[in-house]
Amino acid sequence: MNFEGKHIVVAITGSIAAYKAPELVRQFIKAGAEVKVIMTPDATKFVSPLVLATVSKNEVLYQISSDEVWNNHVELGLWADLFLIAPCSANTLSKLANGICDNIVQAVYLSARCKVAIAPAMDEDMYAHPSTQKNMDTIRSFGNIIIPAAFGELASGLIGQGRMPEPSELVNIAHEFLFHKALTGKKVLINAGPTYEKIDPVRFIGNFASGKMGIALAQHCANLGAEVQLVLGPTTLTIQHSHINITKVVSADEMFNACNTHFSASDIIILSAAVADYKPVHIAEQKIKKTSSEEAPSIQLEKTKDILAFFGKEKKAHQYVVGFALETNDEVKHAKEKLHTKNANLIVLNSLQEEGAGFGIDTNKITLIEKDSELAFPLMSKKDVASVIVDHIIKAHTCAN
Ligand code: CTP
């Protein structure tokens, strides 16, 4: 790994994981980077600025001004090719999301024009808290990268997600982020959300899908440089990103047509939408009225086109097709059947039996099913799930091509 000629500002905040920061800086320097360290005043309680100044071979700043000298945060922001905040505490995350500027780390962040990567590290419950997750969403929407916290033993003694990844891993991620965007030049088609099948002008057959998972996938692929076509069923959620083009649809037929327009040009196809399996044979032109008869009317249904099965059959060797399976029983068995019958490269299984997984919520628990493997993951935020799925696709797709 070579960082020759690259300038990295490492910002350290008040989290116990700060003890790993000198090793992180040392590894960057060993790989040829020039590193300047800045710290929040709280971080200096966890790790000594003297140690960091010694390993970085540069002065360490932890105040906006010191001894009547104003520290030029704008200059630091312009100097850096990468601004890495590691570890990033819950407090700093909140300030980053809200543009607060009460220390040198915030000042450099607000003036940085370079790429920004953030490695949150905190206790599991703090990491999972909706306000922390919301702050991470906001920060991602500014185009910054959030490096998901790792699983393992935490300072509290609990075991869960919240650890800062090891320095060697952060160095790998920084290298990828600086030199290569894994999906640059790739075209990714994603569908998401529910479909509504009209019965009459006021009623439809629909489902509870929100599109959250597919939107998170679209954002992650776009952040990695892909050109994303997102075909979105009826949902109030949306996303704005310069690399995402959204086509809004309502019915399963519309979803098929919109996806089919982009299918042949796509390298990776991720079908996360909850597409209706059946639609009414006839859509009544006028509202169906209640009659005085006790007999309930019946609605005749017909099958919709199975988009995943169609693309699974049509896919060319360079295309990688991912389906989802939402199951309530015999989950792995059903997911494996879908992998086979729909000829997908990968099925992402979610079970409605799992607490914290399902419609409309921010977390998910998945198992990745391939022909010869099953990989189960713990409960994570949908953003982190998106990153796990996309990492897996990148590895599998790169190996195949
Ligand atoms: N799917 C699709 N077109 C359909 C129905 C489903 O492309 N008309 C896709 C979904 O987007 C998902 C996968 O097929 O990627 C599995 O969807 P799921 O609802 O779990 O399974 P179904 O095939 O609909 O089977 P069942 O409802 O019996 O579980």
CATH number at residue 350: 3.40.50.10300
Question: Do 164 and 230 have their domain in common?
Answer: no
**pLDDT (tens digit, 0 to 9) for every residue of the chain, 401 residues total?**
789 999 999 999 999 999 999 999 999 999 999 999 999 999 999 999 999 999 999 999 999 877 667 767 778 989 999 999 999 999 999 999 999 999 999 999 999 989 999 999 999 999 999 999 999 999 998 989 999 999 888 887 888 899 999 999 999 899 888 887 789 899 999 999 999 999 999 999 999 999 999 999 999 999 888 999 999 999 999 998 878 999 999 999 999 999 999 999 999 999 999 999 999 999 999 999 998 888 888 999 999 999 999 999 999 999 999 999 999 899 999 999 999 999 999 999 997 777 877 777 888 899 999 999 999 999 998 889 998 999 899 988 765 55
- Per-residue model confidence (pLDDT) at position 64: 86
Pairing of strands 373-376, 366-370: antiparallel
Count of CA atoms in the C-beta half-sphere (13 A) of 4: 2
Pairwise CA distance, residues 309 & 321, whole Å: 10
Question: Do 328 and 268 have their domain in common?
Answer: yes
Question: Do 171 and 234 have their domain in common?
Answer: no
Pairwise CA distance, residues 21 & 288, whole Å: 67
Structure token digits, residue 360: 């409309």
Question: Do 65 and 108 have their domain in common?
Answer: yes
- Per-residue model confidence (pLDDT) at position 344: 98
Question: Do 198 and 123 have their domain in common?
Answer: no
- Residue 229 Cα to ligand 1 middle (Å): 20
Residue 87 lies in a domain: yes
- Residue 307 Cα to ligand 1 middle (Å): 8
Ligand 1 atom 12: the closest Cα is on which residue?
324
Question: Do 230 and 116 have their domain in common?
Answer: no
| 123 C-beta closer than 6 A to ligand 1 | no
CB 338 within 8 A of CB 286: no
Residue 1 lies in a domain: no
- The amino acid at 168: S
Question: Do 144 and 237 have their domain in common?
Answer: no
Decide which of 157, 178, 199 is a domain's last residue: 178
Question: Do 172 and 191 have their domain in common?
Answer: no
- Residue 125 Cα to ligand 1 middle (Å): 34
With H, G, I as helix, E, B as strand and everything else as coil, classify residue 97.
helix
Decide which of 156, 178, 200 is a domain's last residue: 178
Domain interval for residue 139 = 7-178
Residues catalogued as catalytic: 207
| 273 C-beta closer than 6 A to ligand 1 | yes
| 231 C-beta closer than 6 A to ligand 1 | no
Nearest to 389, CA basis, from 356, 342, 345, 330: 345
Residue 64 lies in a domain: yes
Residue 327 lies in a domain: yes
Question: Do 202 and 157 have their domain in common?
Answer: no
Question: Do 233 and 376 have their domain in common?
Answer: yes
Pairwise CA distance, residues 68 & 246, whole Å: 52
Decide which of 133, 161, 178 is a domain's last residue: 178
Residue 326 lies in a domain: yes
Pairing of strands 320-327, 346-351: parallel
CA distances from 3 to 29, 184, 279, 285 (A): 8, 20, 56, 65
Pairwise CA distance, residues 189 & 210, whole Å: 18
Question: Do 255 and 388 have their domain in common?
Answer: yes
**How many domains, in total, are found in the chain?**
2
Pairwise CA distance, residues 109 & 52, whole Å: 19
Q: What is the DSSP letter of 121?
A: -
If phi > 0 it is left, if psi is from -120 to 50 it is alpha, else beta; for residue 271 that is beta
- Per-residue model confidence (pLDDT) at position 190: 98
Residue 291 lies in a domain: no
Phi–psi pair at 206, nearest 5 degrees: -140, -165
Residue of 332, 337, 338 with the most ligand 1 atoms within 8 Å of its CB, for mutation: 338
Residue 290 lies in a domain: no
Residue 307: in which H helix or E strand, if any?
helix 307-314
- Residue 284 Cα to ligand 1 middle (Å): 26
Ligand 1 atom 16: the closest Cα is on which residue?
325
CA distances from 197 to 252, 286, 303, 376 (A): 7, 15, 11, 34
Question: Do 70 and 194 have their domain in common?
Answer: no
Ligand 1 atom 9: the closest Cα is on which residue?
308
CATH number at residue 146: 3.40.50.1950
